[in-house]
Amino acid sequence: MCEDPQLAGADWWYTLRIPAQPWMIAVVRGALRLALQQHGRADLADTACLLVTELVTNGVVHAGSPVTVDLSCRARTLRVDVHDASPEVPARISAGCDDESGRGLTLVDCCATAWGVHPGPQGAGKAVWFTLG
């Protein structure tokens, strides 16, 4: 039985926990793509993989902590929550043409149906989430 209320009512859900290693981001993408294919939502895979890459990268690079990714689907809407140990809320920045970073939350904002941030359990860290439908 699932104790997380967000996941408890889902049609299906998965949780992945990765160490703060950049090479693990590809593992998350592969697992997400496979889960979506297995559940008949391959149509969401490209966008979901782009957005999860941005959020997991933020967790690994900026929080420097292990990252937990919750994937859930309810009524054909995919929700992805990316948890890290930093309580600092991410902020959108205006990236210049030559900047190599700083566009992640803008991509999430443009591509997701909805997104947001909520504090982690007992105030430990946070989760940045997005939905696609």
Q: Is the pLDDT of residue 1 over 50?
A: no
The larger pLDDT score, comparing residue 123 to residue 78, is at: 78
Per-residue pLDDT reduced to its tens digit, 7-56: 667 899 999 999 999 999 999 999 999 999 999 999 999 999 999 999 99
Q: Which pLDDT does position 99 carry in this prediction?
A: 56
- Cβ 66 vs Cβ 19: under 8 Å: yes
- Cβ 36 vs Cβ 42: under 8 Å: yes
CATH of residue 34: 3.30.565.10
- 127 lies in which domain range? 5-132
Q: Is the pLDDT of residue 117 over 90?
A: yes
Average pLDDT over residues 50-76: 93
Whole-angstrom CA distances from 80 to 22, 24, 95, 96, 99 are 19, 17, 25, 28, 27
What's the number of domains the chain is made of? 1
pTM of the complete model beyond 0.85: yes
